């Protein structure tokens, strides 16, 4: 067993890089076009940037909150977090694809499914991280925690995967509606709730 300090530092770095790379998906407006109309034409990229930035930021905060009750680490737990961070680092790519396809109208539904799949993957990994840390009688949790608070945390993380699946399926109605759903779900995680949440 070891402390979680180095793991948390590594996670902070990955989150920071992923959230910074999002801005690279927003190209400059055409230099020969009127500025405000050109910016308006870029709304899918701008909206996708905001949604993904907030989502990654909230995931970082949730990951940090999780580690206020996780006090130890081992090799298995470190590797689980590496896989989780691999998916987080991938977020800028589906964000740019989604923005591009909503703007062009070409297979925007498929792009939404790609984006949604990444969100579902991250939500599943939150559950895996929490499940491993809290399993085995709380193998990695700090001693003396309230069992009810631990149970509430486990319950909260379960909402992530089905929530993202349902929002992704909204793309069959409208990819823009699905994008709005991703934004609304990000806001949901910020709202005060009992226990942990992703």
CB 111 within 8 A of CB 97: yes
Domain ranges of the chain: 5-190
Residue spans of beta strands (DSSP E) within the chain: none
Residue 123 near residue 182 (C-beta atoms within 8 A): no
Q: Pick left, alpha or beta for residue 27 (phi over 0 → left; psi -120 to 50 → alpha; otherwise beta).
A: beta
Helix (H) or strand (E) holding 13: helix 5-21
**How many CB atoms are closer than 10 A to CB 41?**
13
Share of the chain above pLDDT 70, in %: 91
- pLDDT tens figures, 64-89: 988 888 989 999 999 999 999 999 99
| Start-to-end C-alpha separation, the chain | 25
Per-residue pLDDT of 147-161, as tens digits, reads 666 666 666 788 899
Mean pLDDT, the chain, whole residue set: 89
Question: pTM of the prediction?
Answer: 0.88
Mean pLDDT of 16-38: 89
Contacts of residue 123, defined as CB under 8 A and 6 or more positions apart, other chains included, come to: 157, 160, 161, 163, 164, 198
Residue 187 corresponds to which tokens in the numbers above? 């806001």
Judge contact between 23 and 49, C-beta under 8 A.
yes
pLDDT, tens digit, 9 for 90 and up, residues 163-183: 999 999 999 999 999 999 999
Task: Please tell me the distance from the alpha carbon of residue 132 to that of residue 155, in angstroms, as a whole number.
Answer: 14
- State how far Cα 160 lies from the chain centre: 10
CA Rg value for the chain: 18
Tell me the mean pLDDT in the region 35-46. 90
The DSSP code for 28 is P
| Residues 32-39, mean pLDDT to the nearest whole number | 87
Indicate whether 198 pLDDT > 70: no
Q: How big is the CA angle at 69 (ends 140 and 89), to the nearest 5 degrees?
A: 85
């Amino acid at each position: 067993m070891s402390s979680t300090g180095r793991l948390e530092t590594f996670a902070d770095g990955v989150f920071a890089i992923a959230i910074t790379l999002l801005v690279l998906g927003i190209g400059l407006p055409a230099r020969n076009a009127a500025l405000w109309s050109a910016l308006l034409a870029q709304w899918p990229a701008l909206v996708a940037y905001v949604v993904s930035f907030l989502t990654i930021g909230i995931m970082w905060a949730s990951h940090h909150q999780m580690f206020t009750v996780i006090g130890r680490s081992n090799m298995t737990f470190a590797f689980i977090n590496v896989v989780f961070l691999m998916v987080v680092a991938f977020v800028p790519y589906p964000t740019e694809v989604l923005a591009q396809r909503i703007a062009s109208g070409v297979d925007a539904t498929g792009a939404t499914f790609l984006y949604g799949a990444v969100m579902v993957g991250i939500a599943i990994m939150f559950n895996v991280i929490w499940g491993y840390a809290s399993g085995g009688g709380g193998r990695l949790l700090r001693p003396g925690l309230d069992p009810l608070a631990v149970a509430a945390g486990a319950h909260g993380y379960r909402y992530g995967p089905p929530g993202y699946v349902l929002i992704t399926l909204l793309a069959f109605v409208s990819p823009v509606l699905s994008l709005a759903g991703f934004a609304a779900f990000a806001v949901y995680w910020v709202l005060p709730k009992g226990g942990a949440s992703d």
